[in-house]
Structure 1
Amino acid sequence: MIYTITISPAIDYVVHLDLLKEGMTNRSTHEEYFLGGKGINVSQVLKELGVGSVALGFVRGFTGQALESGLRDKGIDTDFIHLTQGITRINVKIKADEETEINGQGTVPTAADFDKLAEKLKKLKDDDILIISGNIPKVLPQDTYDRILKLTKDKKMRIIVDTNGDLLINSLKYRPFLIKPNIDELKDIFGKDISAEEGALKLQESGARNVIVSLGKDGAVLLAEDGNIYRAGVCTGKVLNTVGSGDSMVAGFLVGYMQTGDYKYALDLGSAAGSATALSPGLAENHKIYGCLKELRGTEDVQPK
């Protein structure tokens, strides 16, 4: 089974305006809402690609109830820990002449809440897959991921870590199956002159088994466990939304690898999922992902062999 962890899930409330007028009452042209948080995004794209998962994390209040029921309505299993204080955060995204975002702080799990999460993780099996995504809120201990990963070190399960900075570096000693820094995050770690290939090699030498470096409009580079470097492009179209593109790439790569064991196919499916999300108002749907995959691979035959 695949498990995703989202420490601070959210409901993203997207408000569209013709023009944002400060200090005045503004009326929207239309609104949308999306169930958010990086691990939850991964679970949703996995579902679009026909693969089940269990979403783990912390929820509270009416927003937490809405998020939990919304995921279940999509057919996604959840096993959240219900907190006793605060509410699951709402992020307000204002799309007008300029884009403005207001991200909520959300709930703050206690040590006892993390103990409950630890008990769930201890029950995971060797053939399970655990995906840890996003940063840790500043109000939480910055060794939170380290504490989570220690619970898995004696298991043979595959770990995917999608974060940056010290959180990413500190995860490498646990030999994650996949990490996915973008090129800017790579340069923040190693310096501005580092190339994607050089940075990926350094991260692999430090413990990561497979390293995808996302390059934005220039696609992505994968340094695979087999020692080879693979590249993928992006799909053509107007970019509408970059939120969740990286999470979509993680989901696509994992599904592609699980289906074929072929690193190139997995990277192409990952890039297709990330591109399709960027070209959609929310997370990409199945038909858009495989339409993008056809473009990237230059063939109608894109189903796994």
Structure 2
Amino acid sequence: MIYILTLNPSIDYIINIEKFVPGDINLTKSEYKLPGGKGINVSQVLTNLQTPNTTLGFIGGFTGDFIKESLDKKNIKHDFIEVCGDTRINIKMKDSSGESEINGNSPEISSEALKKLKEKLGSLISGDILVLSGSVPKSISSTIYKDIMTDTSDGVKVILDAKGDALLEGIKGKPYMIKPNNHELGDIFDVKLESIEDTIFYGRKLLDLGAQNIIVSMSGDGAVLITPTTTYMASAPKGKLVNSVGAGDSLVAGFTYGIYKNLDIVKAFKLGIACGSASAFSNFLCTQIEADKLLKEITVKKL
């Protein structure tokens, strides 16, 4: 079974305006609301790929109710822990200058809620896959992902998609896969990655810190898969960027799907690229038909 943990879910309120004018009244051309949070995006793509999964996390208030109702409509299984306070709202604004985001704060997560989460994760068994995805609420220690991996049963594959301290601490738990993008990788080491050689060099440093494998996504330039013994480069299929929100999460979902289906790591990597690109070329998260169409356009070479 696949379990996806979103510690910090949200409602994504996506608005389109002609041109944002600071200090003035701005009217939207279109708007819509979606259940958000990196892990919830992963869960939605896995469901689109006809793959059973359960999404976990903390949720509260009327905004939390919206997320649960939205997932129910999509037949996405969830097992959230209720907390006091409202689940956050994130604003994604698109205008003629590009995309901007305003992310809300999460509700307080109590020690009792954390205890309930630990109990739920304690039921995972060998062969299960656990995806740990997204930011950590301010009320939770940045070591939470590492602590979860320390307590997880042997034989559970953990895929970690986080950044900053949550990623650096989480790596110590020896996750099966991590997925920073090239900018996040550079930020970790306070450097600007100028070449593929730079990306591989600093990616391997994360292997040295504990990660078993790493995918570094590079938007239109494709992605790199770094294993303990080999490095692979995947091209990105051609297409028009429509919406970058959720593309990285879709890559994680595609890779997770491949591992769940017992594909080798390179084929899972290729599938991840197809799903990530399909979401980037669409207003919504990718479908299986869209991913399959792009899969044939992707080439992977050993470096």
How far is the alpha carbon of 1:14 from its aligned partner? 1.1
Match of 1:52 in 2: 52
Match of 1:290 in 2: 292
Match of 1:143 in 2: 143
Question: 1:265-296 CA distances to partner (integer Å, 9 max, x unpaired)?
Answer: 21111111111111111212222111111222
Change (3 A) 1:287 1:181: same
1:290 corresponds to which letter in structure 2? D
**1:111 offset after TM fit, Å?**
1.1
Contact 2:234/2:299 (<8 A) preserved: no
Structure 1 position 197 matched with structure 2 position 200: yes
Q: Which amino acid aligns with 1:272?
A: A
Which residue is 1:103 aligned to?
103
Uncovered stretches (5+) of structure 2, i.e. residues with no partner: none
Letter in 1 for 2:265: Y
Determine the structure 2 residue equivalent to 1:248: 250
Partner AA of 2:177 in structure 1: L
Amino acid at match of 2:203: A
Question: Which amino acid in the other structure matches residue 211 of structure 2?
Answer: A
Partner of 2:219: 216
Q: Could you tell me how far apart the structure 2 residues matched to 1:183 and 1:122 are?
A: 33
Question: Which AA in structure 1 matches 2:256?
Answer: L
Aligned residue for 1:45, secondary structure, equals helix
Residue 112 (1) aligns with residue 115 (2):
no
| Alpha-carbon separation, structure 1, partners of 2:134 and 2:67 | 18
Structure 2 CA distance for aligned equivalents of residues 185 and 290 of structure 1:
28
Provide the rounded CA distance (Å) in 2 between the counterparts of 1:19 and 1:187: 32
SS in 2 for 1:174: coil
Cα offsets for 1:167-194 (capped at 9, x unmatched): 2222233221111111222222334467
The residue that corresponds to 1:228 in the other structure is 230
1:301 match: none
CA contact (8 A) 2:109 2:139 kept: no
2:88, 2:106 within 8 Å by CA — same for their partners in 1? yes
In the alignment, does 2:187 pair up with 1:188? yes
Match of 2:277 in 1: 275
- Partners of 2:155 and 2:27 lie apart in 1 by 53
Q: Which residue of 2 aligns with 1:168?
A: 167
* Rounded Cα–Cα distance in structure 1 between residues aligned with 2:216 and 2:23: 42
Paired position in structure 2 for 1:66: 66
Amino acid at match of 1:257: I
Q: 1:232-290 CA deviation, whole Å, 9 max, x = no partner?
A: 11121221211111111111112123335322221111111111111111212222111
Which one of the candidate residues 232, 241, 248 is aligned to 1:239?
Answer: 241
Residue 211 (structure 1) shift:
1.1
Q: Which amino acid aligns with 1:135?
A: S
> 1:272–1:296: 8 Å Cα contact kept in structure 2?
yes
Equivalent residue pairs, number = 295
Aligned-residue identity in percent: 42
Tell me the residue number matched to 1:75. 75
C-alpha distance in structure 2 between counterparts of 1:169 and 1:142, whole Å: 9
Q: What's the TM-score once normalised by structure 1's chain length?
A: 0.90
Deviation at 1:141, TM superposition (A): 2.4
Per the alignment, residue 257 of structure 1 pairs with: 259
Give 1:213's aligned amino acid.
V
Deviation readout 1:69-95 (Å, 9 max, x if unpaired) = 211221211000011x21111112222
> Residues of 1 paired with 2:182 and 2:29: CA distance?
36
Match of 1:303 in 2: none
- 1:182 and 1:276, CA in 2 relative to 1: closer, same or farther beyond 3 A? same
Question: Deviation above 6 Å: which 4+ runs of structure 1?
Answer: none
Aligned AA for 2:56? L
Q: Give deviations 1:121-149, integer Å, cap 9, x for gaps.
A: 11111221111111213343222223322
- Report the CA distance between 1:102 and its aligned residue: 2.1
Letter in 2 for 1:177: Y
C-alpha displacement at 1:156, in angstroms? 1.8
Query: Shift in Å at residue 159 of structure 1?
Result: 0.7
Give, as a single letter, the amino acid of the residue that structure 2 aligns with 1:143: T
Q: From the superposition, tell whether residues 228 and 31 of structure 1 become closer, same or farther in structure 2 (CA, over 3 Å).
A: same
Q: Matches of 2:242 and 2:289 in 1, distance apart?
A: 17
CA separation of 1:181 and 1:23: change in aligned 2, threshold 3 A: closer
Aligned equivalent of 1:156: 155
Correspondence list, 1:20-59, <5 A: 20-59=20-59
Cα separation, 2, equivalents of 1:120 and 1:260: 25
**Cα RMSD after superposing both structures:** 2.0
